[in-house]
Every structure is written in structure tokens, then in C-alpha cells.
Structure 1
Amino acid sequence: MRGQVIAALLFSLLPLSSVYGHFQELIPSSEAVHSPAEATLNFDIQFTHPMARGPVMTMQPPEAFGVVTASGQTDLLPALKAQPSGRFSAEYQIKSPGDHLFYLTPAPYWEPEEGVMIQHFTKVVVDAFGGEPAWDQLVGLPVEIEPLTRPYGIWQGNLFQGIVKKNGQPVPFAEVEVEWRNDGSISSVQDPYVTQVVKADGNGVFSYVMPKSGWWGFAALITADKPMRNPEGVDVPVEQGALIWIFAKPMQ
């Protein structure tokens, strides 16, 4: 009994980064644009633990930020603005109908507690004026989730399915971490409920029912083929994340 108490105390002293999942956030002010008055999107970009509401890790300037539309691919790096507490923001004006696939490649992040470099290739799809759908199109990221469920217009309680891909090919039995972006309405839960974990099948397909409205992050974690040099000059493993954000709306 005494040993169990000591073990529980030691576990409670572990930093959040070793208990909860890291998630690169790329959150637009809206997942769908229906009128010109809504056409200005504002993005909140941070590397954090969404369910725990922090801490926010300091981001270095991202390597890539852009959008893919029916007109092609547009570099949005110049739109990024550094914010306090290691965050970034950006503004984008929707000018045409159709799906907009926003993507972000952050600079690799050194996580000394896990001994890995972390780089989460992140995307979010915004529907604009109900135009031409292209929500299942791949951006071409090294690791990426191809949605099988349209990633917008989703009700709370809907099933989301996707295929985990690496270099365009499915990743069998990939592990996918899932977290809800806490809006402050849930203040305390036991650790296993913070980060949900599902496993893809042999074809790289995973499924998850979103039980609450709000933003949900799906991060398929894959070890890179090659190591990367950490700030101390040592070659270490690289955790590549294929990450997509989905908004579930309450049915009222």
C-alpha cells in the first residue's frame, strides 16, 4: 500500500508533456464561410496540450504555411505573425468558393523528456460558400490523414474516419491520438480521458465518434525513417505527426 501511494505521488509530479499528448494547433475562426461578412479567417497557431489547456510550448518560425484551393497552392508564410507565449497568428481573406485546405509545417521541436524531435504536419479544411468540394484531396505532406468523412458540416456525435498515410501510402495499424480542444467547460478528468487513443486497421483506416461539440485534433504518430540532430548535436528519433482538426457542432 505504501509503495502504491509513493508511485502515485511520483506520477503526479511528472510534467504534463510526459502525460498528455502534444498537438500542433491550426485553428481557424470558422470551419465554414457562408457569406462575405464571414470571409476573413483568423488563425490561432500554437503547440500545446489542448485538453489540459496548456502549457504552450515556444514555437520557432514554421517551415511552411499555406492553402490549397481549386486555383492551386498559395504560400501564406508572410501572413504569419509572432504572438506572446510562443504562439503565432494569421489572417486570410476567402476570395472564391470551394474547399480551402490550410496546412502548416512547424519547425521541429526538441522534447528532452522523451528524447525525440517532434514535427506535426497539420491541416484543417474550411468550406467556402458551398463551392466545389475537394476535402479528400491530399496536400502532399510527408505524413498526412486523408479524410473518409467530410471534415466539416459535422454534428456532435458523428463518426469521423480517415486513412493514415506516409509518402502517400497507407500506414497499417498506425496509432492515432485524439484530443478535444478544451474551452474551459471541463476542468478535471482522470489522465486516461485526456488523450484518447485509437489504432488504425491494416489499411490505415481509423474511426472515432466525437462525443462533444468543439474542435477535435487527430494526430497519427509515426517514427521518421531518419533521425534528426537535436540542439545538443546528437542524432535522435523524430516523431512525425499527421494531424487534422475537425469541428463538431451541437445539434440544437
Structure 2
Amino acid sequence: MFCRPTVAARPWILGLGLTLGLSGTASAHFQELVPNLDILDEGTGNQVELRLRFTHPMAGGPVMDMAPPVRFGVVGPDGDQDLREALTRVDEGGQGTYRAQYRVTEPGDHIFYLEPAPYWEPAEGVMIIHYTKVVVDGFGGGEGWESPVGLPVEIEPLVRPYGLWTGNLFRGIVRHNGEPVPFAEVEVEWRNDGTFAPPADAYVTQVVKADANGVFAYAMPRAGWWGFAALIEGEETMRNPEGEAVPVEQGGLIWVRTRDMR
């Protein structure tokens, strides 16, 4: 099991780069794959825009530079489609992020997925690869949301990952190479829209443990986008930019959206 260093052991806490208004806050790395719409209907049209950013969502930043993704695609009624050609690089403060547009042409659930290029984090001494997905419901199709993409590390949702109210309990299974990961650690963060400041560090990244069958659960207390990141240590090392063999943090991420009942 991959274990992150404690706050005291993270030298970047001494700098200002990762605080961004949350003084002293220890934020987790999260690969964002967030669409402008998670449910399409007659009133929304059929165009989806997705933003790909590697950042600290609860802290509101900073954004880390993304190299061109290794894989980016969608699994839907038409099968598995490679969408890398749809990606457009967008610089944010000199750091690379990406955007893509996709037109939904058939009813059904569409699972967008991403394998980013490995990211070297010198403060933690690891290469980071966060395999990420998000489900968009196309015109009430309502089928396919639980289907696996086949990512090396993946969260299988046990709750339909759209149409969720604030306070709903989200449940999932952490899988590595298709097999459940007993007692996997799952980090949870809300994608801060600037309306909330956590009262203490412990509120920034929620941490839950899966059970012996790899199943975890978390009740989402606020409307917006929530990221779930299951972290494991890779079976093999990778070379960092200096050519040194270093550990790999593999993450399986899924993004879900909640709305207030009004």
C-alpha cells in the first residue's frame, strides 16, 4: 500500500506554492477530468466540454504542468473511442492543462477516461500516475455507468455516479488489475469553487479505508464536484528526470457531482 508522507515530513509545506490562501494546508494531488455537464437532456444540448488539470482541488491550486496524456478516450454506446486528437492545450500560469469537446450522438452513459503522462514529484520522491474517469449520462440512457474501463487502478462505482443529491452516500470498489484491493486508502476532496475555506488542515483531504473486499463509502456534504482517489504503490519503479529509479504512486480516480435538493 502506498503511504503519503506526513505533513511534518513534506518540505513543500514550508513554501507558499501549495497553500494558495489555505495557510499551512496539506493538499493532495488530484487529476481532474471534469465535464461542464454530467447529465444531458433536451435542454442542455449534446455538447460536452471536459477540463483536464492536475492540481489540489480543495486548495484551489496550484496547477501542476501536464505533459500530453498517454491515453484519453470515452467508452459509450459506440464502444471505446480514442479522443486524444480532440485535446487542446491551455496554459494556466505557465502550466499545461487540456480541454476537449465531445458531441454525444446516442443515448447512453459515456465513461470518459484519462491516463496522464507520469508526473515527477520531487518533494515526495515519486512518479505519479492517476488513472481518472468520469461518467456523463446521455439523454437518460441510464446503462453502462458501472462498466470497467480496464485501467490498471480503477474505482468501480456501486452507486450510479450522476443524479446525486448532496448528502448521498457514494460507494465503490477499488480494483488493481481487475482484482479488489483490501483495505485500500481512498482520498476524497471537494473541488473548491471559492466559496469555502476549510477550518483546519484535516478537513482538506478526507481519508477513508476500504474494507477487506475493497469496498469504501463516503457521504458528500456539499454540492459540487467530488474526487475520489484510491492510491497504491506501483509494482515497478520508474526513472525520474535525473535518471534515478524511484517508486510510482498509482491512483484510480473517479469524479462525481452532487446537487442540493431545492
Normalized against structure 1, the TM-score is what? 0.93
Q: Which residue of 2 aligns with 1:59?
A: 66
Q: Quick one: structure 1 residues 187 and 132, their matched pair in 2 at CA, closer, same or farther if it must change by over 3 Å?
A: closer
Q: Which residue of 2 aligns with 1:212?
A: 222
What does 1:74-113 correspond to in 2, within 5 Å? Answer: 74-85=81-92, 86-113=96-123
Distance in 1 of aligned mates of 2:238 and 2:42: 45
Distance in 1 of aligned mates of 2:218 and 2:73: 27
Distance in 2 of aligned mates of 1:179 and 1:193: 9
Equivalent of 1:117, from 127, 144, 147? 127
Is 2:40 aligned against 1:30?
no
Identity of aligned residues (%): 59
Distance in 1 of aligned mates of 2:257 and 2:142: 20
Cα deviation, 1:139-172, whole Å, max 9, x if unaligned, reads 0000000000000010000000000000000000
Distance in 1 of aligned mates of 2:12 and 2:253: 28
Secondary structure class of the residue paired with 2:85:
helix
Q: 5+ residue gaps in structure 1?
A: 1-6
- Deviates most, 128-137 or 177-186: 128-137
Q: Which has the larger share of helix?
A: 1
What does 1:95-244 correspond to in 2, within 5 Å? Answer: 95-244=105-254
Secondary structure class of the residue paired with 2:145:
coil
* Displacement of 1:238: 0.3
Secondary structure class of the residue paired with 1:78:
helix
Distance in 2 of aligned mates of 1:215 and 1:154: 11
Distance in 2 of aligned mates of 1:124 and 1:234: 34
* Displacement of 1:13: 2.2
* Displacement of 1:35: 1.8
Secondary structure class of the residue paired with 1:19:
coil
Cα deviation, 1:34-56, whole Å, max 9, x if unaligned, reads 12742111111100000000000
Superposed CA RMSD: 1.6
* Displacement of 1:70: 2.2
Secondary structure class of the residue paired with 1:38:
coil
Q: 5+ residue gaps in structure 2?
A: 1-7, 20-24
What code does the residue aligned with 2:80 have?
Q
Is 2:14 aligned against 1:16?
no
Q: Quick one: structure 1 residues 189 and 11, their matched pair in 2 at CA, closer, same or farther if it must change by over 3 Å?
A: farther
Distance in 2 of aligned mates of 1:36 and 1:214: 20
Q: Which residue of 1 aligns with 2:79?
A: 72
Distance in 2 of aligned mates of 1:11 and 1:127: 39
Q: Quick one: structure 1 residues 83 and 12, their matched pair in 2 at CA, closer, same or farther if it must change by over 3 Å?
A: closer
Paired residues of 2:26 and 2:204 also in contact (CA < 8 A)? no
- Deviates most, 42-51 or 27-36: 27-36
Distance in 1 of aligned mates of 2:260 and 2:43: 24
Distance in 1 of aligned mates of 2:207 and 2:142: 33
Distance in 2 of aligned mates of 1:192 and 1:81: 35
